[in-house]
């Protein structure tokens, strides 16, 4: 579904990703962990083409993406992204946030987009907030709207960059709950998170990034109970 | 006390003419601001565009306008334009003020656009919007809203700056005061009166702006 081969990414002299190979199968949930600065966000941003890779290739749904040839906006529409700070559009109501991209990008009729959006808001438990502006929502509600907004484009893969890190602890659960539900419905997901419980219970595979390289990739049980790399052991001790 | 009485006399004698002149001041300010907003938007877009040429043109315009006195720009434009086409002092003055304002308003818009969190553009990109779609639908509406308070300030500055078009004999408030002062030999009183006219206009507008800003904060 999503495949990166030999991804290299540098910012100036700083090489942040040093040859990442990662293939995500349809309906697979991959949790990406690693210490701060290891390149997790950068990798997700490369998968969303918000950053240009210096070397290597990215395939979406079996097609190699060439930024020179393809219209990146078309590809991005197939890869959704959920951000740490939600990035909702503050000048639009919740409903308008969700219908915007289907209408503008997919040229969907407004009436159809509204039906779609209402269904998605219902799914994330926010049907009653459709006409509210984002500033009136709690962090957890904002993030659930952001998820609904991404889902409205019917992406093939959904990327999450620390979706609960900006939330008060008591609001983390409601967002993880929605994500877990998506995973059960077969959504392909790559999730950067420090919520190890989520990794243990929802992930099909946990991957450890360290200084721009994947040093561990295993099912959650093996990853947490029997990691092969010393750095992984240290990391698990640190976060658990 | 005596001064106050003569000021009052001057006020009573001049207000029919001065109110008419106030209207001209407001009109020239409004035209200048509309023109300045259009130019400002255009040059702000050029400045944030990816074309080096457009950026350079916009920078040149902004540098020249900000680096020369308004009164020089007014004279330059007045003699420049009227040597090519027949144009009233009002329109020459309004255009000069408009071009002048364009440079400042361009900076207001540019600042507002660049002040929008880059997460907004990333979110719209990640949803598949093109650069221009995300500008049009996401960035501009927010930037425009944020521009309104500084645009209000610019309006106040322009209102006062418009007095400089007296130099090309536009019968606005300050011109009228000059004429009145010269004819009546009551310069001190006349300029005091005209100063109050400007002050009142500015205070009314400042109040309206405050109302708007409060409303913005409530909305948020
Ligand atoms: N746009 C950029 N320009 C320059 N350096 C950058 C840029 N983005 C990221 N970096 C650097 O790349 C490295 C990896 O950053 P990245 O954000 O991918 O890490 P991360 O694993 O997501 O960390 P965190 O857990 O703190 O979010 C860091 O050293 C960061 O400073
Ligand atoms: Mg990060």
Q: How confident is the model at residue A166 (pLDDT cuts 50, 70, 90)?
A: very high
* Cβ pair B125:A88 closer than 8 A: no
Q: Is the CB–ligand 1 distance for residue A212 below 6 Å?
A: no
Beta strands in B141-185 (DSSP E): none
Give residue limits of the domains in chain B.
Answer: 2-219
Mean pLDDT (whole number) for B98-108: 96
Distance (Å, whole) CA B153 – CA B167: 24
User: Which atom of ligand 1 is closest in space to residue A39's alpha carbon?
Assistant: 18
Q: State the pLDDT confidence band at B213, using cuts at 50, 70 and 90.
A: confident
Q: Is the CB of A42 under 6 A from ligand 1?
A: yes
A239 lines ligand 1 (CB under 6 A): no
Read off the pLDDT of each residue in A80-99 and give the average, rounded to a whole number: 96
Q: In this complex, is the C-beta atom of B115 within 8 Å of any C-beta atom belonging to chain A?
A: no
Best CA proximity match to A10, nearest among A45, A62, A41, A53:
A53
**Confidence check: pLDDT of B53 > 70:** yes
What integer is the mean pLDDT of A89-96? 96
Between B123, B129, B219, which is nearest A87 by CB? Answer: B123
Please indicate whether, in this complex, the C-beta atoms of B127 and A76 are within 8 angstroms of each other. Answer: yes
Question: CA-to-CA distance for A179 and A43, rounded, in angstroms?
Answer: 20
The bound ligand whose nearest atom lies closest to the alpha carbon of A32 is: 1
Q: How many helices (H) and strands (E) does chain B have?
A: 9, 0
- CB-ligand 1 contact for A164 (6 Å cutoff): no
Task: Kindly report the number of other CB atoms within 10 A of residue B198's CB atom.
Answer: 19
Q: How far is the CA of A209 from the centre of ligand 2 (A)?
A: 12
pLDDT of B220 over the 80 cut: no
State in Å: Cα A19 to ligand 1 middle.
16
Q: How confident is the model at residue B219 (pLDDT cuts 50, 70, 90)?
A: low
- The CATH architecture one would assign to domain B2-219 is Orthogonal Bundle (1.10)
- How close does chain B come to A237, measured CA to CA in Å? 33
């Amino acid at each position: 579904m999503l495949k990166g081969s030999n991804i290299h990414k540098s910012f100036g002299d700083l090489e942040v990703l040093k040859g990442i190979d990662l293939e995500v199968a349809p309906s697979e949930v991959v949790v990406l962990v690693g210490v701060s600065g290891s390149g997790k966000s950068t990798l997700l941003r490369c998968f969303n083409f918000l950053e240009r890779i210096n070397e290597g290739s990215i395939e979406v749904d079996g097609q190699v993406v060439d930024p020179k040839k393809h219209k990146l906006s078309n590809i991005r529409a197939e890869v959704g992204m959920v951000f740490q700070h939600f990035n909702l559009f503050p000048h639009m109501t919740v409903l308008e946030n969700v219908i915007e991209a289907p209408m503008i990008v997919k040229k969907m009729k407004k009436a159809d987009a509204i039906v779609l959006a209402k269904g998605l808001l219902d799914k994330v438990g926010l049907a009653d907030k459709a006409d509210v502006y984002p500033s009136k929502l709690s962090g957890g509600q904002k993030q659930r709207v952001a998820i609904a907004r991404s889902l409205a484009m019917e992406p093939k893969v959904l990327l999450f960059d620390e979706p609960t890190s900006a939330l008060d602890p008591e609001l983390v659960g409601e967002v993880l709950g929605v994500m877990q539900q998506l995973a059960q419905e077969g959504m392909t997901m790559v999730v950067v998170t420090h919520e190890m419980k989520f990794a243990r219970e929802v992930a099909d595979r946990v991957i450890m990034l360290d200084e721009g390289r994947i040093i561990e990739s295993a099912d959650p049980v093996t990853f947490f109970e029997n990691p092969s790399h010393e750095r992984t052991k240290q990391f698990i001790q640190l976060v658990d | 006390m005596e001064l106050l009485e003569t000021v009052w006399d001057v006020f009573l004698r001049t207000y029919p003419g001065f109110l008419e002149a106030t209207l001209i001041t407001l009109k020239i300010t409004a035209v200048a601001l509309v023109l300045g907003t259009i130019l400002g938007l255009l040059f702000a877009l050029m400045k944030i565009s990816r074309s080096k040429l457009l950026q350079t043109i916009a920078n040149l315009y902004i540098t020249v306008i900000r680096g020369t006195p308004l009164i020089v720009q007014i004279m330059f434009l007045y003699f420049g334009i009227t040597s090519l086409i027949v144009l009233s002092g009002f329109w020459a003055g309004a255009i000069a003020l408009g071009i002048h304002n364009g440079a400042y308003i361009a900076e207001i818009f540019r600042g507002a656009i660049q002040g929008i969190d880059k997460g907004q553009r990333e979110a719209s990109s990640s949803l598949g919007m093109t650069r221009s779609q995300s500008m049009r639908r996401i960035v501009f509406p927010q930037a425009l809203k944020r521009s309104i308070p500084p645009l209000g300030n610019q309006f106040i500055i322009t209102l006062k700056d418009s007095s400089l078009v007296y130099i090309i004999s536009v019968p606005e408030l300050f011109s009228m005061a000059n004429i009145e002062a010269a004819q009546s030999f009551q310069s001190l009183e006349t300029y005091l009166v005209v100063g109050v006219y400007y002050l009142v206009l500015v205070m009314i507008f400042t109040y309206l702006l405050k109302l708007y800003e409060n409303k913005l904060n409530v909305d948020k």
